[in-house]
Structure formats: structure tokens, C-alpha cells
Chains A and B, each alone.
Chain A
Amino acid sequence: MTTEELVTGGLRLEAHKQRSTKAPIRAASLTERYVIPLDQHSGLPAVPLVKPSDRVRIWQPIAQPAPGISAWLHSPVSGEVLAIEPRPAPHRLGAPTLSVVIANDGRDERFENAAAIVSFERLSPNEACEHIARGGIVGLGGAAFPTASKLASSLCENGPKLLLNGAECEPYISCDEVLMRERAEDIVFGARALLHALCSPSCTIAIEDDVPDAHTALRLAIDKVGDARIRIKVVPAIYPAGGERQLIATVFDTEVPHDGLPADIGVVCQNVGTAAAIARWIRDGQPLVSRIVTVTGDGVRDAGNLETRIGTPFSSLIADCGGYTERMSRLIMGGSMMGTSLPHDDLPVVKATNCIVAASSLDLQLRGAEMPCIRCGNCSQVCPAFLLPQQLHWYLQPFDSDQLDRHGLLDCIECGCCDYVCPSQIPLVERFREAKPLLTRELDAHLSADAARTRFLARNERLARLEAEHRAKLAAKRRPKNEPSS
């Protein structure tokens, strides 16, 4: 076996990052069409500011945040808005989602955004968050959560500790590693901006122990600005060390409460890519319209990391990397453990697209035939959330919501470590993903039933009280008649 188990969970996996990190970051080719889904960030879909046949320029805002948790979207090219219509998207494989389709005129005419470049240090923390929001900045670690909302809800009196997540633990993904290697100064600039926006006293950049070049580059960049608040912490290269909750536990030795957020324990975690995007927005006025995408796998001829504009079709990236090999089998967005398998490559790059793996049979390790669980416990040994997956599996059939809740089904981070080590080849993550909404629905039903019962009883009590008061009033009115007249 090529893996080792750890006492506290996780697996040592082969990284498969050598091919894609050999060459420096290069730019992806421009294409004719760019499809920008309006809901590519967490929260509510953005509201379009443009309509079909409008001319747009590069970096021009094309959609504004909806009320609530939402984000700005900007045009990655200059050209004409062809349509705003439902289009297939990689983060919404169930149904096409409303997207802005822009035809590239090749001229890259820039939109002059007067509000873009500011002297950041002069802004108050709230103004700083608002400014970051206007850059369309969302978390580039995979969840695409609007950064400004995260920052705004994390401002606390003592200033939270900032954690920059450079611990890219999933096999095949190397975009953060090359970013740290080649653009460490952007990351440090972004870190300092975040420190200002959060009133935070310290920043820790977490990296794994298998990226010495990135470590050196970051070290140089930090020393160059001479900021003593920023330090580097090296964590073991174990999957999934880069998971937010696991990383916080490793770096700060405290756990995020299961029903809370990192902000509750005074920590804000951002991906290093997000920090670099913030730097580009504040320093250069460039909103989030492009990101580094790793293209790798035995199914593509040349692997590499490409600076890609949002909305570029996957097929274009594959073409940039020499096209598919004959061995191409499965197209995955993400890494080999948690990536989504895609039905075709005519899908646009979104802000959350960190990696495309064109997998062949050399990359894939397919599951064997499923056998019953033999309760060997390999799964519980590797679970980074300290769960007992064998028990969760046991209580799925028949569905025992009480036991599933007690054993923490909703705490599962779907990392796939349990799947990996199961000798019975049970697709555990798939089962848990199916079961979670069923459990959530039942727990929610219990909560609303309890609330309904409380209101019902309160109403009955109120009616009884009103009835009693009414009767007392009537009785008081009747009494004087029975008294002998004076």
C-alpha cells in the first residue's frame, strides 16, 4: 500500500503534482465565448446589470450582489453580451443555470473603475470590507463564499487571528503551490490588506511540508516587506490537512464548534488564492475575473497551471494542454478524492474551479465489487472528524435518524478517506451524501414540530386566560343586582 494511516485521522496519499508544477504559470488562450453563471458563488445569485446586446469592457461589473449573501461579477473580456440564459455549469450539474454569455471581440478594452484603486490603509475596517466586496472577491479554496461577508461577520473586538490556507492537500491540485512559488508577493500584500480589514494582530500562512520552493518564496516575500505579524507554519502533508476545520485544529490547537464557525473561536481562514486576488484588486484595480487552474492527469498531453479567465470553456483549457490522450477516461473538476466527475467538457470555468483532472485508468483506482461491511474499523481510524463511519453505515439501513444524529452524520466533511481504506469497497461518501438531506429534513421537522407545539399550547393558554377574564368580568357585572339595594 502506498498510504499510511494516522492516529488522529487522514491519509498520506501520492501527490501527483510533479507534472503540473514543472513549468511556470502560463496564460490560457482566449476564446470566442465566455459563459459566466450568475450563481457561481455561495449564497444568492447575482443580479444582472447588463442585458443582451450591451457592449461590455474588461473588468466591467456585469452583475451586482442580491440582498443578502451574494457577490459582484465582472466581465473577463471586452465584447458584446450575447444572452442571459440558462447554460450548463460545472457546479450545478442538475440543471442549466442562468448565465451571462459574452462574445469576445479580442480588443480587451479596459473599463475605468474610478473606485478601484484606493489607498487601502486609509479605509476603516467596514469600508475595507465593502471595497473588497466590490472586487467580486470570493473564497478561491473551493466554496466560493463571498469574502466580504465572511470578513464582516468576523470582526470582533480583539481582532481575529488570520489563517491563510496554503495547505493544498488533495492529490493533483497544485494551483496554490505554484501561486505561492511565483506570486508570493501578491499573497503577502493580500495578507496585509486582510490584517487591516480585520484589525487582526497576526497572520499564519499554513503550507505542507512537501513544498520547499513555495516555503522559500513566501519567506523571501515576507522578509522583503519586513512584516513581523506574518509567519509561516508547516503542517504534515496528510490529506485532508487543508480542510478548514482540520487546519485550524492543527495550527491553533483549538477545534471549531460543530454548530459554529471559525469566527466563534476568533479565527478567520482564507485561501492563499483569495489573498492574491485581493492584492490584485486593491493594488492593480483588477477585480476577480481570472484564476489559476491546474490542468493535469494522464488523459491530457501536457499538464500545467494556467491563468484562466472566468467563463473559459474546459475544452479550451484541454486544447491549451495539448488535447486529450487516447487513454482519457473521466473528466474531474477538483482533485481525485473530492472532485466532481463531469459529463462533458463544454462547461465554463467558474471562480471555484481550482483544477481539472483528465483522468485515465492510470489515475483512477476503481472500486471493486461491494461486499457487506466487516466492521474492521479502518474507516474510523482515518476519519479526520473522529467519526465511526461503520456505525453511520449500519444505521442507514433502515434509516435510524436518532442514531445517525448521535454518531455525527452531519459532521462528516465528505473527504473520502473512509471510502479509500474500506476493504469491502463500500461507497461510503456517496451514501452519506444521500443521507444527510434526509436527516436534516427530519431534524428540521422535529424543530418546527416543537415550535408548533409551543405556539399551540401558548394559544390555548391565552384563550383560556381570556375566557377566564371574560367570565370574571361578567360575574363582577352581575353581582351588584343580587345585593340588597341600599
Chain B
Amino acid sequence: MTFPTAPAPHVVAHDSVGRVMRIVIYALLPTVALHVVFFGVGLLIQIALGAATALICEAVALRLRHKPIEPFLKDGSAIVTAILLALCLPPLAPWWLVVSGTAFAILLAKHLYGGLGANPFNPAMVGYAVLLVSFPVQLLQWLPPAGMEIEHVKLSVGETIQTILTGSLPSRLTWDAVTSPTPLDALRTSLKLGMTMVEARAAPIFGTLGGRGWEWINLATLAGGLALLVLRIIRWHIPVAMLGAIVLCASLMYLVDPGTYAGPIFHLTSGASLLGAFFIATDPISAATSDRGRVIYGAGIGVLTYVIRTWGGYPDGVAFAVLLMNLSVPLIDRYTIPRIYGHAR
């Protein structure tokens, strides 16, 4: 009898890029849900717009590169990029912000470099950095968390959709009335005005741990991140190194001068620390390769995040920290090749 032949191994685990990305999306759902609870449905519209843009851009790029479209659209990596970028944008941002940012991320940061698996920079962070530098005003128009806004300026669902799609608020409102700085932004401004940490932290925008509302969102992100760890989608090296570095730097400076520098818990629960540690920095394509390399990579992101937040020009430093460490990945990889079995220690 004759049989068809195939190379070994004859058993392979049932796994796929699509499955990995799907689990990442599920792990992001708690974050998205709590974000909507505190800041309204704007995020959902941003995600919808971003995901649609991402898929269309991906299809166009794949067609131009003569690659099969269906398997790559199905792998879900474009949707993950869209969700992460949408989470970085204010919920009322005009539609063209998320569309252009996502298009930039997918077309230039991903496909120009060779598509899935070949991008040296984190596409979502590239998109965000481009938007932040190009449209700083729109990116500072965050909303106050639920419970803090003035009642008659709260937007309904319909008004939210209308604002995003037209780029302008309903006629009864102005941007000044509707928006509020993020906790990190508020802290920065207060400290610049000469307030001490205690005074600054007393403002109503801050909750128990960090920013009001944001601390809950960050806890949801932590839960999602721990789920990813347990399911072995990510490994502990980057999150632990990044958060460890932030905690170390924050604790150090807090001990030096508690009046001027926020403590470690605040830094962990504010801004994109946890989102960055578990979802952004852990993007395997743009991260370092070996375990030791990943620890250095994560620690670098943590240190740079703290430095940019405290002394740099932007309220949150995760995006630029990630991009800067992406740049150093080839160098890190070169010096952290693990010892091979049978070679000298």
C-alpha cells in the first residue's frame, strides 16, 4: 500500500495567531467596559471607527503587496492595534483622529516594514505618537470621570456620536465646559503651580489610589493582564520589569521628596502604566527576543516612562518610552543571546 508522506513532527499543537489575538481582545474587554462606565460610549465609537479603518487599510496594503487577504484579516492583529490606539485617545475625539492614527499605524508602521511579524515599532504607539505630536489640542480634550461632571453638560449617546462624527460639540456646550484634564495632567499642572503633593492630591479628580475612575480602569487592566499571564499568552518578564522599574523610580524619588514626587501606587494606577505593561510593551513582534533581553527592555520602558512623566514634556510617557526601547531592541538582542547547550558558560 502507498501513503502520502509529510515531514516530522506529525503532531502540532492546535494554536494560531488568531487565537492569541482573540484572547488579547477578550482580556481588554474589562478595561473597555469600565472605560465606558466612567467616560461614556465615546470609546466604543472610536473602537468601531478604528477597527473598520484598520481592516480596510490592512486589506488595501495586502492587495498592494500581493498577499492573501483573508488569513491576515482573520488573525485579528489589526483589531488589537485599533483597540489599543482607541484606548489612548479621548472619547470625544473627532472621527478623523482615530481614522488617521489607525491608518498610519497599519499602513506605515506595519505594512511598510513588511507586515505581520516584521514591524520594528509598536504600530499603535507609532499612530498615537504621530497624533500626539500633530494634534496636541484634540488629544488633551479628555472628559471628567462619571460623577464628577456637571450634570447639564453630560452628553447623551446620540450627542456623543454626533460630536465624534462631526468634530464639533452640540451647540449648547463648549469644550472648556465639557473637558477635564487627565489625572496625570492635572497633577503636573498643580505641581507647576507650586502646590505640594498632598494639596494637589486633594483635588476631586483623584480617587483613593490614583485618578478617580482611572484607578478602576487600571485595576480592570491588571485583571486582564493577569489573565494573559495565566493563559501563557504573555510571560512575566516584560510586565514585571516595567512595573518594577516604575515602582523603583517612583519610590526612590518619593523618598527623596514626597512633596514634589508622586508615590509608586499613584504611578501604577494612573495613565497607561498597566495597559502598557501588559498589553502594549508585551507586543512580541517589537519587543526583545530572549528572556534576559525582555527584562532589560521592560525595565528600560519603565524608567523612561517615569522620566518622561516627571521631567519630560508630556503627561504620560508610555508611548514614547515604548518607541525608544523599540529602537534599542537590536542592540539588546545582540548582547543577550542565551548560552546554548554544550557551549562554554
Binding site for B on A (CB under 8 A): 1, 3, 5, 13, 171, 245-246, 249, 255-260, 315, 324, 328-332, 334, 336-345, 357, 359, 363-369, 371-377, 380-381, 384-388, 390-391, 406-408, 411, 414, 416, 419-425, 427, 429-430, 433
Sample (20) of A-B pairs whose CB atoms are under 8 Å apart: A259-B342, A330-B4, A330-B6, A363-B10, A364-B10, A365-B12, A368-B14, A372-B115, A374-B77, A376-B20, A386-B339, A390-B289, A407-B340, A408-B343, A421-B13, A421-B15, A424-B16, A424-B17, A425-B16, A429-B7
Among B72, B338, B341, residue most surrounded by chain A Cβ atoms (within 10 Å): B341
Q: Does B147 contact A (CB under 8 A)?
A: no
B17 lies within 8 A of A423 (CB)? yes
Chain A, Cβ-Cβ closest to B20? A423
Q: In the docked arrangement, what's the CA distance between A343 and B337, Å? A: 40
Known: A368-B14, A407-B337. 16 other contacts (CB 8 A): A246-B341, A249-B341, A258-B342, A328-B3, A330-B3, A337-B10, A343-B3, A359-B10, A371-B71, A375-B289, A391-B289, A408-B340, A423-B16, A425-B12, A429-B8, A429-B9
Among A245, A368, A421, contact of B16 (Cβ-Cβ < 8 Å) = A368
Which residues of A sit under 8 angstroms from B4, Cβ to Cβ?
Answer: 329-330, 341
| Residues of B contacting A385 in the complex (Cβ-Cβ under 8 angstroms) | 340-342
Q: How many whole Å from A297's CB to the nearest CB in chain B?
A: 10
Q: In the complex, what residues of A have CB within 8 A of residue B118's CB? A: 372
For the complex, what is the distance from the CA of A374 to the CA of B7, rounded to whole Å? 23
A245-B7 Cα distance, complex, nearest whole Å: 23
Q: Point out the residues of chain A lying under 8 angstroms from B1, CB to CB.
A: 315, 324, 344-345
For A372, list chain B residues within 8 Å (CB). 115-118
| A-contact bits for B4-30, CB 8 A (1 contact / 0 none) | 111111111111110110000000000
**Are A341 and B117 in touch, CB under 8 angstroms?**
no
Shortest Cβ gap from A485 to chain B (Å) = 72
How many inter-chain contacts with C-beta < 8 Å in the A-B complex? Answer: 170
In the docked arrangement, what's the CA distance between A343 and B17, Å? 32
Chain B residues positioned under 8 Å from A1 (CB to CB): 13, 15
Q: Give the distance to chain B from A431, nearest Cβ to Cβ, in Å.
A: 10
Number of interface residues of B (CB under 8 A): 43
Q: In angstroms, how far is the closest chain B Cβ from the Cβ of A429?
A: 6
Within B324-345, the residues touching A (CB, 8 Å) are 333, 337-343
B340 touches A258 (CB 8 A): yes
CA distance A256 to B340 in the complex (A): 11
A235 to chain B, nearest CB (A): 16
Q: How far is the CA of A371 from the CA of B70 in the complex (A)?
A: 12
Closest chain B residue to A423, Cβ basis: B15
B337 touches A258 (CB 8 A): no
B140 an interface residue at 8 Å Cβ cutoff?
A: no
Return the chain B residue nearest A334 by Cβ.
Answer: B8
Does B235 have its Cβ within 8 Å of any Cβ on chain A? yes
Give the Cβ gap from A196 to chain B, nearest Cβ, in Å: 30
| Contact between B342 and A331, CB atoms less than 8 A apart | no
Contact of A258 among B287, B290, B343 (CB under 8 A): B343
Contact of B284 among A171, A344, A376 (CB under 8 A): A376
Q: Are B14 and A245 in contact (CB under 8 A)?
A: no
Which residues in B have their C-beta under 8 angstroms from that of A388? 289-290, 337-338
Secondary structure at the A interface, as helix, strand, loop or mixed, is loop
Q: Which residue of A lies closest to B231 (CB)?
A: A1
- Chain B residue numbers with a CB within 8 Å of A386 are 338-341
Residue B172 interfacial (CB < 8 Å): no
Q: How distant is the Cα of A84 from the Cα of B290 in the complex, in angstroms?
A: 54
Q: Which residues of B contact A375 (CB under 8 A)?
A: 117, 284-285, 287, 289
B171 at the interface (CB under 8 A from A): no
Nearest 9 CB-CB pairings of A with B = A416-B9, A258-B342, A372-B117, A341-B5, A408-B340, A365-B11, A423-B15, A385-B341, A344-B2
Give the residues in chain A near B72, CB-CB below 8 Å. 371
Contact yes or no, B289 A380, CB < 8 A: yes
Q: What are the residues of chain A within 8 A of B71 when measuring CB–CB? A: 369, 371
Q: Known: A5-B232, A331-B3. Contact between A374 and B14, CB under 8 A?
A: no
A416 x B337 contact (CB < 8 A)? no
Chain A residues near B11 (CB-CB < 8 A): 13, 171, 336-337, 363-365, 420
A430 touches B7 (CB 8 A): yes
Across the two chains, which residue of chain B brings its CB closest to A416?
A: B9
Contact partner of A332 (CB less than 8 A), chosen from B10, B16, B20, B75, is B10
Output the least CB separation between A393 and chain B (Å). 10
A336 touches B9 (CB 8 A): yes
Shortest C-beta distance, A267 to chain B (Å), equals 13
Per the bound structure, the CA–CA distance linking A367 and B9 in Å amounts to 9
Give the CA-CA distance A428 to B101 in the complex, in Å: 36
> Is the pair A337, B341 in contact by a Cβ cutoff of 8 Å?
no
Question: With a CB–CB cut-off of 8 A, which chain B residues contact A13?
Answer: 11
A421 to chain B: which residues have CB within 8 Å?
13, 15
Contacting pair B342 A255 (CB below 8 A):
yes
B residues 33-92 touching A (CB-CB < 8 Å):
71-72, 75, 77
B68 to chain A, nearest CB (A): 9
Which of B3, B10, B290, B343 is the most central at the interface, judged by chain A CB atoms within 10 Å of its CB? B10
Contact among B116, B338, B343 with A371 in the assembled complex (CB-CB below 8 Å): B116
Residue in B2, B8, B17, B75 whose CB lies within 8 Å of A416: B8
A95 to B289, CA, bound (A): 41
Among A344, A367, A380, the most chain B Cβ lie within 10 Å of the Cβ of A367
Closest CB of chain B to A451's CB: distance in Å?
A: 24
B210 to chain A minimum Cβ distance, whole angstroms, is: 31
